[in-house]
Structure 1
Amino acid sequence: MSEPGSPVLPKRGGSKAVAAYFANPLSIAGLVIVAVIVLFAVFADYLTPFPDHVGPIGDFAAMNTGPGEIYKLGTDTMGRDLFTRIIFGYRLSLIMAVVVLAIATPIGVIVGLVAGYKGGWTDYVLMRLTDVFLAVPPLVLAMAIMGFLEPTLMNGMLAITAMWWPWYARLIYNVTRAEAQEGYVLAAETVGASTAHILFREILPNCWPSILTKMTLDVGFVILMASSLSFLGLGVQPPTPDLGSMVADGAKYMPDAWWLSLWPAIAILLVVLGFNLVGDGLREAFEAEG
């Protein structure tokens, strides 16, 4: 699996890339995992057996019931169906990932494009600022930010966004530095094209495969980071179903009520694995396209 911020080198995609992707069984497996998770998350209200168990109200007569015929994954300490809460936890995690990447990616891409193309003091200032953020471990930075904010969904997304954009800035900076020496950029400069045109119409299209690959990989990492914050009590607060907080709450009752932590932990593992397999498959497919 790739680490956050790891460089991806592909440039273009097409029919050859699609064929290469579907020729890899692991890529197909990742796509199936992601598709099933997204399907359940989107239609959770209709596909879960106890949609009313999302809130604080449960069934105390069924509290701490192990996996069985009625409750496939068991219930929690308030008698709420774990399967239902995990699926709604997926919905929340995916929303967080989409919002974080929708904010962090444009910021990082613009910083990387400008620094990589302009060079000089612009390069120095922007990339040193990026290096300052990269020097701090991501989870530590997010915890520090959340220490000053109320633990809510919005603040959690802001904290993760603040630590995520530098990875895109560093990636696109490296790609832009290489692309700036290509003939098509020199030709655009020769005919007097504006800087904005060169950055967003010439260089950026050749960065998209790298951006898309990294975004796919990062969905899993963002979800893992959000779950880590919730596990520490700094993320989404109860009764909202969150995978990280479910693992933390269930840990108090191990090993007797093992299902309380095990199933949410496996759910986190599956979503991270699925998006990593899809991201790795995209990278290999783009590289095959050349």
Structure 2
Amino acid sequence: MNRTLAVLLRNPLSLLGLILVALVVLSAVFADFIAPFPLHRGAVVDFANFNKPPEWPYIFGTDLVGRDLFSRILYAYRISLILGVVVLAIAVPIGVAIGLFAGYLGGWTEYVLMRITDVFLSIPPLVLAMSMMGLLEPTLTNGMIAVTAMWWPWYTRLVYNLARSEKEEGYVLAAEIIGASKLHVMFREILPNCVPSILTKMTLDFGFVILIASSLSFLGLGVQPPTPDLGSMVAEGAKYLPDSWWLTVFPGLAILVAVFGFNLIGDALREILGAEQ
């Protein structure tokens, strides 16, 4: 772990990714202390300062009802990170468990589990999430459910391929010979060797989860006003381009910073952990 961190810090691009992700996380965690107008995260109206361009004290400008965009972006980061953590915390264990069972047990178990997985994989992810959100009330919880439903199959496919390869290795055969149970072989022998690939994919996916969630909000199917959300802020501001450019540019840049940061770290981890295996 220390070696991996040292390598990340020596690589300029991965270091940039760490800095960007750290800024996003710190902004979300300490939004209550950083935001100059914390009350603007909710249903606040200040028509005396509506639609102001970037100027002090509104460094990112204000929206159409006078709320400070900088403050709302900080709280929107908090929503995005919560969604990313919850989605991956649910999708990864489900996908990993199904992939291990299918890849190691084979036979009818493999056939049934992988055909179900293929059905989900055959549907474009955003279309699947939009279909679910069309049936559910557009809330943060339902948004998490919709994104989770489209994410677990990718981990199933990844771990399935890894498990099929690993089960022919000598250490697995040795565990089977001494009488280890199937669950022991899957979760204590095969799974640890899959962790580097899973960790790399999780890092890359965190940015994509934020992007997909923002896309749903952009279409009006995600987090609903007055709760600040990056996607809905971009959608709102797009109606007033190019005159009120700050309404769209700053939330869009906020999405870019988060996705770019996680992608840089994920790419670096893929190279480092791939080289160590």
Q: Please give the range of the TM-score, normalised by the shorter of the 2 chains.
A: over 0.9
TM-score normalised by L of structure 1: 0.94
Q: Distance in 1 between matches of 2:214 and 2:75?
A: 14
Paired residues for 1:121-160 under 5 Å: 121-160=108-147
Question: Residue by residue, what CA displacement relative to the aligned partner does 1:114-165 show, whole Å, maximum 9, x if unpaired?
Answer: 0000111111111111111000000000000111100000001000000000
Say if 2:185 is the partner of 1:208: no
Q: Distance in 2 between matches of 1:101 and 1:64?
A: 37
- Output the amino acid matched with 2:143: G
- Structure 2 match to 1:111: 98
Say if 2:239 is the partner of 1:252: yes
Q: Residue 242 of structure 2 aligns to a residue in which SS?
A: coil
- Structure 2 match to 1:194: 181
Aligned partner (choices 38, 52, 63) of residue 25 of structure 2? 38
Q: Distance in 2 between matches of 1:23 and 1:175?
A: 30
- Output the amino acid matched with 1:250: G
- Structure 2 match to 1:229: 216
Does the Cα contact within 8 Å between 1:243 and 1:264 map onto a contact in 2?
Answer: yes
Does the Cα contact within 8 Å between 1:30 and 1:277 map onto a contact in 2?
Answer: yes
Which structure 2 segments of 5+ residues have no match? Answer: none
- Output the amino acid matched with 1:286: L
* RMSD between aligned residues: 0.9
Say if 2:133 is the partner of 1:171: no
TM-score normalised by L of structure 2: 0.98
Q: Distance in 2 between matches of 1:145 and 1:16?
A: 43
Does the Cα contact within 8 Å between 1:104 and 1:161 map onto a contact in 2?
Answer: yes
Equivalent residue pairs, number: 277
Report the structure, 1 or 2, having the larger helix content: 2
Q: Distance in 2 between matches of 1:86 and 1:144?
A: 27
- Output the amino acid matched with 1:143: M
Does the Cα contact within 8 Å between 1:21 and 1:284 map onto a contact in 2?
Answer: no
- Output the amino acid matched with 2:55: G
Aligned partner (choices 76, 86, 91) of residue 89 of structure 1? 76
Which structure 1 segments of 5+ residues have no match? Answer: 1-13
- Structure 1 match to 2:205: 218
Structure 1 segments, 4+ long, off by >6 Å, are: none
Does the Cα contact within 8 Å between 1:58 and 1:80 map onto a contact in 2?
Answer: yes
- Output the amino acid matched with 2:126: L
Q: Residue 207 of structure 1 aligns to a residue in which SS?
A: helix
- Output the amino acid matched with 2:59: K
- Greater relative contact order, per chain length (Cα 8 Å cut-off, separation 6+): 1
Identity of aligned residues (%): 68
